[in-house]
Amino acid sequence: MTKTVEYQDGDVQLTSRNPLRGTLMLVGDDDEDFQLDLDKFAAEELVGVLMEFLMQGEGGDMPSIAIGRG
C-alpha cells in the first residue's frame, strides 16, 4: 500500500559526518511521522531528481534558485 507523505520545512538532522548520514522527517496524510534516512549517495540522488523535477516548471513555476560555486 502506498503512503503519501510531505516535507514540512524541517532540517536534516545530522547523525554522522564520516560517513555522512542524517535523517529528514516527513509527515503522512494521517499526521504520522516518517523518518527518511539519508547517506551521501541517497542525498546526491535526491538532489538530482528534485532538480530535474524543478526544471520541468514553466512560466511562474520556473525554478527561482541559482546554484553556483564561489
Residue 69: which pLDDT band, with cuts at 50, 70 and 90? low
The neighbour count for residue 38, using CB atoms within 10 Å, is: 20
- Report yes or no: 53 and 62 within 8 Å, Cβ to Cβ: no
Q: What is the pLDDT of residue 64?
A: 85
Q: Which tens digit of pLDDT belongs to each residue from 8-66?
A: 989 999 999 999 999 999 999 999 999 999 999 999 999 999 989 988 989 989 888 77
Task: Read off the amino acid at residue 45.
Answer: E
Given a cut of 90, whether residue 5 has pLDDT beyond it is yes
C-alpha grid cell, residue 2: 502506498
Residues sharing a CB contact under 8 Å with residue 20, sequence separation 6 or more, in sequence order: 39, 40, 43
